[in-house]
Structure 1
Amino acid sequence: MRLITADGERQNMDFVFGCAHDQQGKLLDSPASTDGILGLSNGAMSLPTQLAKQGIISNVFGHCIATDPSSSGYMFLGDDYVPRWGMTWVPVRNGPEDVYSTVVQKVNYGGQELNVREQAGKLTQVIFDSGSSYTYFPHEIYTSLIASLEAASPGFARDESDQTLPFCMKPNFPVRSVDDVKQLFKPLLLHFSKTWFVIPRTFAIAPENYLIISDKGNVCLGVLDGTEIGHSSTIVIGDVSLRGKLVAYDNDENQIGWAQSGCTRPQKASRVPFFLSRALRSQLL
């Protein structure tokens, strides 16, 4: 890899990255299975970790995917584009797999709480995975969401002939885009644990980030049943629900953060004193 420094100097450095070609697991059976290109996990061989060990960046990366699928977005390596203010941070849960996961206390559809499995004191795990096209809920939460959507949408009828996604509804009026129906639905809210003197941490998924309009003009749910891919007790937040947010994965501080963003162009964050930054982060966690 050839890197160009800020002063224009060119350096050749060795890094390992590439396209995945030998995938396993039931995630391949999902409606849109994809191959990874860059290794962006928190493992020792991930690209950010390799760059950080060379002293090129801090062990942080992030992405900002535009809400409009016709628009683009951006990805960044290092913490230069992580906002110093306005981010919501949650700690990353340590586990055997190199995934970015945390735990959620409850999930709401608007003001209605959906079922969250809690057995033997174990909270529901949440994995942030931009490589997954869709979002996945455990079966109990998924079925509760389906029931809530059907009860709150009297002008819609389930259309099982539409195979775009497992759950599609036919409206009694013409629909061309999500903008035509998003006001009829409520946001999905993932509530994380809070600490003293800290605003409750919530990941909000707007209707336009979980609804998809099919070629038939039906309203389809971009949230799928996780049991179909072996995630019976795990929430997977995929690409469809990460749009319109700047999401940062901080391997140095072992945390994940997000903030609303138009994702039009990256902006370098203003710096704060190092000691103040560490103090603020310790308070938020």
Structure 2
Amino acid sequence: MSPSMLAIVLSSLVFVVLVSAAPTSLTLKRAFPNHGMNLSQLRAMDMKRHGRILQASVVNFPVYGTADPIAAGLYYTSVHLGSPPREFHVTIDTGSDMSWVNCVSCNGCPQTSNLRIKLNYFDPESSSTSSVIPCSHHKCAICSTNNHCSFKVQYEDGGETSGYIISDLMHVADISEGLVAPNSSVPLVFGCSNMRTGRLTSYESALDGIFGFGKDDTSLISQLYSQGKAPRVFSHCLKGDTSGGGILVIGEVVEPNMSYTPLIPKHVLSIFDIFPPISLNFANHASMVLRSQDYLIHSPTFYGGLWCLGFHKTQDITILGDIILKDKIIVYDLASQQIGWTNYNCSLPVNVSAPSSGKGRNEKGGASLCDRPEKLTMVILAFITHMILILI
């Protein structure tokens, strides 16, 4: 017998010996010994284990809607509230903190929506886990006559809603990075809206409510964080194509090319802090730098008080009016066919170049407009006629 054949025979004999010596059964041991615990104790231990998994998980919300103003013009998500759970479509609002949905007997709530979704109304009486927050709650700011903690929210677009505050379960539909059951739920304090006014009464882009993702304690993200259910960070990615949708997760999306800027506390911000200076660039490298207060116009009667951009673009030219030209000296040099400007406190007198004859010049080589009322009138008339420029 050749050496190679002998090696094959010996290997086969070793395999037969190992197989014949193997046990005919396997012993299974519990990874989590119950030590004689009953079913209720096992369930409690399982819920505690699920809570630890949920704490390290990333909560994923569905995203609907598109940027197309004809199809939707906004993005929104859906949440499941109450017991048994009911689905509600809500706006994703990163600029507010209060979360609320329509409730039964709502005054001003739209009945239909052009988004082709069925509008629902939350009924606290039909939910076995619902409870009304009383006025005695330590965070209650507004109290109604029936001892219910109330809320009222006004939005920048003129919409307003009010109602009372309740607590119920929010059912998390999808959690990744953990083996949590799809029906996991967390307690949530939110508003039960029974009044809508302004733009919130329109059927256009109407939804069941608004969920606030702001920084205050009442926001959705802050409530989940305070319970140890999710991190205090969320991310979204909204699809810009016609299909719409996107991603909304409570967790930080890790990408190498992220750019960050600090969040400034809103109590130190004014409208003029938010908008940056704008530079209007002309020929000969001349620039007119406009502060935000130079081009923002406050309209207190339009949509509850909006700030508008003070620019008027026509087909061929751009008109710069009095609002933009304030707090500047504007020189219209028709003889040299040029125009000049500089920032100036217009409550102070100015020096004006005198005619070649030298009449009217003061000791410093200029004539004060305070001494020459006819010149002042001429400049004011020129200022009121507006300044029409072709931007280059």
TM-score under structure 1 length normalisation: 0.33
- RCO comparison, higher one (Cα < 8 Å, 6+): 1
Structure 1 or 2, whichever has the larger Rg, is 2
